[in-house]
Amino acid sequence: MPLESPRAWVWRHPRPEGAAGRCIGAGTDLPVQRRRAKRLARRIQRFARRHRLPHVVHSSGLQRCADVGRWLRRWGWRHHIDPALAEMDFGAWDGRPWAELSAADFEPWMQDFAGHAPGGGESLRQLLARAAAWPVPAGGLLISHGGWMLARQWMEREGLLKTPNAAVWPAPPRYGECWALRVGSV
């Protein structure tokens, strides 16, 4: 990935244990296998070395992100945990199998994709605002979640001019995938 100035980079956490088929958000703190966390930490370390970036990483406090940051801290990095980097909060849906949720559960969300808070948690509009407000530092390295990354990308590309709906909302990045971010708040 070519470096463009000024930029920062965010990695999606490794695949967590026990997530398959479940609604996983900020309320479900799943672990990742130790070797997966260490492998992503090594990738981030090599990236920082290759591009001469500071050995400082910011992560969500959920263990699927924080475990990667803890590996980096063991190797001499500064690791900052920030709750603003957390995944969307799905309230009562969090941790439940998707198959347990009915069409009636989804209907209000599909009618107001940006404004409805699924499971009584956080709305997409709230997540968008949280991701847009996070002050990304130049050369910053982050470990976050697919939802946060999508929200930040949406705000960088579309801003408040276009309200997202379920039909245009993109698929999340792969586990361990890295995206470039604009510096500062959006």
Q: Which pLDDT belongs to residue 159? A: 86
Give φ, ψ of 68 to 5 degrees: -65, -45
Give φ, ψ of 59 to 5 degrees: -145, 160
Give φ, ψ of 8 to 5 degrees: -140, 170
Termini Cα distance of the chain = 22
Q: Which pLDDT belongs to residue 160? A: 75
Q: Which pLDDT belongs to residue 6? A: 72
43 phi-psi bin (left φ>0, alpha ψ -120 to 50, beta other): alpha
Q: Which pLDDT belongs to residue 125? A: 96
**Domain assignments of the chain as residue spans, ordered by start:** 7-141+175-182
Query: In the CATH scheme, what is the code of domain 7-141+175-182?
Result: 3.40.50.1240
Question: Which regions of the chain are under pLDDT 70?
Answer: 1-5
Q: Which pLDDT belongs to residue 5? A: 54
Distance CA 27, CA 24 (A): 7
Q: Which pLDDT belongs to residue 161? A: 77
Strands 78-81 vs 141-144: parallel, antiparallel or unpaired: unpaired
Q: Are 44 and 16 in contact (CB under 8 A)?
A: no
DSSP letter, residue 162: S
Strands 56-59 vs 141-144: parallel, antiparallel or unpaired: parallel
Q: Are 9 and 47 in contact (CB under 8 A)?
A: yes
